[in-house]
Structure 1
Amino acid sequence: MSIRLENVGIAVRDIEAAIAFFTDLGLTVLGRDTVSGEWADTAVGLDGNHASIAMLQTPDGSGRLELFEYIHPEAIETEPTRPNEIGMHRVAFAVDDLDASLEIAARHGCHPLRGVADYEGVYRLTYLRGPSGILVMLAQDLRGG
């Protein structure tokens, strides 16, 4: 039996803002659609499930995000996840230039929670709040590889 990670799904309040944020960071949109119907109700476990979706991919093709904005049932606002809470935590990206990535994030109003950390001279990394309060980790490998 084999297994591989297909994607990470993230519900957002504004799919256009989320797409703009992630594509500015370097992901590409593979496709967009609107999903509904009995199959969607069954798969997701919500009656009347209706959502706009977008599949995004990292430049190397190894990672995908599925963003979805609920049309029905109405999306439920929650407090943004904190780093120490149990459950879905964050999405992490390796970047070649952390400073340039943070400049892009700042254009979307997204800034580090506390600052940029240096992990033993191996990584520079930070957590920030992306669109819809999503925790995003950006990390730059300082070993040059």
Structure 2
Amino acid sequence: MTITMENVGIAVRDLEEAIAFFTDLGLTVLGRDTISGDWADTAVGLDGNHARIAMLQTPDGNGRLELFEYLHPDGIETPPTQPNEIGMHRVAFSVDDIDDALQIAAKHGCRPLRGVATYGDVYKLTYVRGPSGIIVMLAEELRQS
């Protein structure tokens, strides 16, 4: 069996806000749609499923992020996840300049959970709380191969 990663899906409270954050970081929008109907109910497992979605892609073409804003049933607000909670943890991106990435994040009101750390001589990295409480890891590789 062959398997490849298709995308990471994240429900957001405001689709436009999330798109703005991720496109400012460098992702591009591949497409948008509004989904509903029997096929969507069956695939997702929610009756009356109706959502606005957007598919974004990293500049290298290898990573995709699907963002969706539920119109029905209403999205359920939950407390923001903590780094040690079981389940979906974070989405991570390599960046060529972590300081630039943090300036972009700050324009969206997103700041590091604690600060920027250096992992050996390999990475500078940080977790920021993005739109809808999403934890986003930003990592700058220090050694170039």
> Where does residue 105 of structure 1 map in the other structure?
105
> Where does residue 6 of structure 1 map in the other structure?
6
Letter in 2 for 1:74: D
> Where does residue 30 of structure 2 map in the other structure?
30
Q: Which runs of 5 or more structure 2 residues have no equivalent in the other structure?
A: none
Q: How many corresponding residue pairs?
A: 145
What is the alpha-carbon distance in structure 2 between the residues aligned to residue 53 and residue 29 of structure 1? Answer: 11
Q: Secondary structure at the match of 1:5?
A: coil
Q: Secondary structure at the match of 1:93?
A: strand
Q: CA deviation at 1:29?
A: 0.1
What is the alpha-carbon distance in structure 1 between the residues aligned to residue 144 and residue 113 of structure 2? Answer: 26
Could you say what the CA RMSD is over the residues aligned between the two structures, in angstroms? 0.5
Q: Secondary structure at the match of 1:54?
A: strand
What is the alpha-carbon distance in structure 2 between the residues aligned to residue 24 and residue 121 of structure 1? Answer: 28
Q: Secondary structure at the match of 1:85?
A: coil
> Where does residue 40 of structure 1 map in the other structure?
40
> Where does residue 18 of structure 1 map in the other structure?
18
Letter in 2 for 1:71: L
> Where does residue 139 of structure 2 map in the other structure?
139
Letter in 1 for 2:136: V
1:46-57 equivalences in 2 (<5 Å)? 46-57=46-57
What is the alpha-carbon distance in structure 1 between the residues aligned to residue 45 and residue 13 of structure 2? Answer: 20
> Where does residue 123 of structure 1 map in the other structure?
123
**Deviations 1:91-137, CA, capped at 9 Å, x for gaps:** 00000000000000000000000000000021000001000000000
Displaced runs of 4+ in structure 1, greater than 6 A? none
What is the TM-score normalised by the length of structure 2?
0.99
What is the alpha-carbon distance in structure 1 between the residues aligned to residue 26 and residue 105 of structure 2? Answer: 11
What is the TM-score normalised by the length of structure 1?
0.99
What is the alpha-carbon distance in structure 2 between the residues aligned to residue 113 and residue 81 of structure 1? Answer: 12
Q: Which runs of 5 or more structure 1 residues have no equivalent in the other structure?
A: none
Q: CA deviation at 1:4?
A: 0.5
What is the alpha-carbon distance in structure 2 between the residues aligned to residue 37 and residue 8 of structure 1? Answer: 22
> Where does residue 95 of structure 1 map in the other structure?
95
Letter in 2 for 1:10: I
Q: Secondary structure at the match of 2:115?
A: coil
Q: Does 1:58 align with 2:23?
A: no
